[in-house]
């Protein structure tokens, strides 16, 4: 993948989406809500593993029967799930206050 491809897949950084600097302002929402959202995201991470496992097996089977031509819809779904995973990891580690889907649109 070229640098141009990588730059086109990165999301535009909004003020909420930028990485937090160490020692920067405290989180704006309460720790109770942060804990609740983190637990919900952990459950979604678990479901994500299952979905990715199914997609991996399905894509491999399709590669076998289609003479090594990957299914572009499965590949795009994998990229989208990877972006969600990135946003979720950044939220649960308090790198950003921007919550991932289902609190924002899934892309």
Instruction: With respect to residue 87, please indicate whether it lies within any of the assigned structural domains.
Output: yes
**What are 36-81's pLDDT values in tens digits?**
999 999 999 999 999 999 999 999 999 999 988 999 999 999 999 9
Q: Is the CB of residue 74 less than 8 Å from the CB of residue 62?
A: yes
48 Cβ neighbours under 8 A, 6+ residues apart: 81, 84, 85
67-96 mean pLDDT: 94
Instruction: With respect to residue 53, please indicate whether it lies within any of the assigned structural domains.
Output: yes
88 Cβ neighbours under 8 A, 6+ residues apart: 41, 44, 45, 100
Instruction: With respect to residue 84, please indicate whether it lies within any of the assigned structural domains.
Output: yes
Instruction: With respect to residue 14, please indicate whether it lies within any of the assigned structural domains.
Output: no
Polymer length of the chain: 107
SS3 67: coil
Structure token digits, residue 99: 């919550």
Range of the domain at 78: 29-102
Question: How far apart, in whole angstroms, are the C-alpha atoms of residue 42 and residue 45?
Answer: 5
Instruction: With respect to residue 16, please indicate whether it lies within any of the assigned structural domains.
Output: no
> Is residue 9 over pLDDT 60?
no
The confidence score (pLDDT) of residue 18 equals: 62
Instruction: With respect to residue 15, please indicate whether it lies within any of the assigned structural domains.
Output: no
């Amino acid at each position: 993948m070229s640098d141009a491809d990588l730059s086109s897949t990165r999301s535009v950084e909004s003020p909420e989406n930028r990485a937090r600097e160490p020692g920067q302002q405290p989180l704006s929402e309460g720790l109770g809500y942060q804990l609740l959202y983190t637990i919900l995201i952990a459950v979604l991470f678990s479901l994500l593993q299952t979905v990715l496992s199914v997609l991996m097996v399905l894509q491999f089977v399709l590669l076998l029967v289609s003479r090594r031509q990957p299914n572009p819809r499965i590949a795009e779904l994998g990229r989208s799930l990877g972006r969600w995973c990135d946003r979720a990891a950044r939220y649960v580690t308090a790198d950003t206050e921007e919550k991932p889907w289902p609190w924002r649109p899934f892309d």
